[in-house]
Amino acid sequence: MDSMRQDCYLNVPLNKLGEREYSQTQTGWSNVYSGVLSWEEFNLLFDVFYAWNEKFDLLIDIFEEETLPADRTREAMAILERYIAKRNDVPAFVSAANKLKEALQKAIEAQTPLFLDF
């Protein structure tokens, strides 16, 4: 397996305890939602991440972790939904986008950040 090929973990603290768990430990979270995008799924969503990078002054890439702040999650969801509408005829894209959408929805509901960890 190529050393650059790695999964992207979509981690969302579900409450204040989850924020503490996420910041203090690497595993065993009971208050953190954790979704996974494969390398291929991450690449399918590249345009979405690029749009987020531009809009929110982020650097989402495979070389480092990145945090989408809680106050940006609603706007990030709107961007994601526009991409889903444009590419709804590509099943693999829609499947990957729905994983990201689920994590974003949890972040919006909990008013917490979305952590993208590699």
Set out the domains of the chain in order of their start, with CATH numbers: 8-117 (3.40.1760)
Burial readout 10-22 (b: 16 or more C-beta within 10 A, e: otherwise): bbbbbeeebbebb
Widest Cα–Cα separation across the chain: 41
Given strand 32-37, what is the order of strands in its sheet? 32-37, 8-13, 114-117, 66-68
Reported as type and span, the H/E element at residue 37 is strand 32-37
Q: What percent of the chain has pLDDT over 90?
A: 87
- What pTM, to 2 d.p., does this model score? 0.92
The arithmetic mean of pLDDT across residues 93-116, rounded, is 98
How far apart are the C-alpha atoms of 49 and 32, rounded to whole Å?
Answer: 22
The arithmetic mean of pLDDT across residues 21-42, rounded, is 93
The arithmetic mean of pLDDT across residues 20-36, rounded, is 91
Q: What percent of the chain has pLDDT over 70?
A: 96
Q: What is the pLDDT of residue 4?
A: 58
